[in-house]
Amino acid sequence: MGSRKKPRFKILIVDDVPKNIQVAASILQESGYQMAFAQNGPTAVSMAKNKRFDLILLDIMMPEMDGFEVCRQIRDRVSNREVPIIFLTAKEDADSIIKGFELGAVDYLTKPFNGAELVARVKTHLELYRSKKELMSANRRLSREIAERIKVEEELQRSKEEYRDLSNHDSLTGFYNTRYLYNAVEALITECQSSGEPFSLIFLDIDNFKNVVDTHGHLNGSRALAEVAGTIKNCLTTPAYGVAYGGDEFVVVLPGHDHPNALEKAEDIRSKMLATTYLPKVNNGVHLEASFGVSTYPDDATDIKTLLAKADQAMFHVKSEGKNAVAGTVRSRSQP
């Protein structure tokens, strides 16, 4: 008896420009997918309501109803909550990326897109979707996923309420931004000049982070940064705080910490990162490492720029010697 063929995946392509639909369809048709097309938002919502699709490729900028609203309405139906939605868009600013992620998109591609990348992303998310449906047949797994979803939604809501002061905070991670860092550390230096107390800075850079973005997409890369920030935050107690320094770099400010204490705290963060699984819903999750540099006031420097430079230099020393370690000045170093 011959083996039964697996049913073909069904993909809905939504774009108000017929040429864009034609280009995407011509690229994907060689993979044997069943495809349907919609040239406006209301039609796409209606089709998603009446038919089951395994993946939706959705343009953002459309007249009458944009892709964000289409995504929201599709996600309102319980049967469509898990269907992967990939945005095909010319918009690549951070606010649009975060908004798309919050509405339920799993990835995005910037137009004009690379054909091989489109095929790879579609294949990856279809396989993830099929695996997820199989896992959801188990009640225990279903209950755990629902609990995780509720927890993430609660954390997002709490973050929105706690970090409304956008002038001093990074909107993705909830950490302070560099503008706050320079002002706050200048004030801390003045305070420590009077009290004689030390303080330390940790400069950390995630190792090989580009691989995460290349493999799982920009939206998941942004989420991973937010999750790493969560790990750092869980290792700190007031008055210590974290700063989103830029890209995949973070700074930790440790009032009252001398050099040995700061090295110990950096090692604590490094260890917690190694023990954490990031992006748990993406395949088997992602494991991340980082390189750390430490500098201390007043032993290493008495101004913010030099303190940051020395911590940065110590971090790059770690990078040059194999990454995933903690280093301070030449007087001390901690290896994994």
pLDDT tens profile 3-21: 455 568 899 999 999 999 9
Q: Is residue 183 part of a domain?
A: yes
109: domain CATH number is 3.40.50.2300
The band of 224, judged by pLDDT with boundaries at 50, 70 and 90, is very high
> Which residues span the domain enclosing 101?
10-137
Give the mean model confidence (pLDDT) for residues 187-200. 96
The band of 243, judged by pLDDT with boundaries at 50, 70 and 90, is very high
191 and 311 belong to one structural domain: yes
* pLDDT of the residue at 260: 96
* pLDDT of the residue at 249: 97
pLDDT tens profile 12-50: 999 999 999 999 999 998 888 999 999 999 999 999 999
Q: Is residue 146 part of a domain?
A: no
The band of 236, judged by pLDDT with boundaries at 50, 70 and 90, is very high
83 and 49 in contact (C-beta within 8 Å)? no
Checking if the pLDDT of 59 tops 50, the result is yes
Q: Which of 81-85, 188-192, 246-250, 272-276 has the lowest mean pLDDT?
A: 81-85
Count of structural domains, the chain: 2
214 and 101 belong to one structural domain: no
pLDDT tens profile 250-302: 999 999 999 999 999 999 999 999 999 999 988 889 999 999 999 999 999 99
Residue 113, both tokens:
């897109």
How would you label 13-50 residue by residue, b for 16+ Cβ within 10 Å and e otherwise? Answer: bbbbeeebbebbbebbeeeebebbbbbbbeebbebbee
* This prediction's pTM: 0.51
307 and 204 belong to one structural domain: yes
214: domain CATH number is 3.30.70.270
Give the mean model confidence (pLDDT) for residues 223-251. 96
* pLDDT of the residue at 7: 62
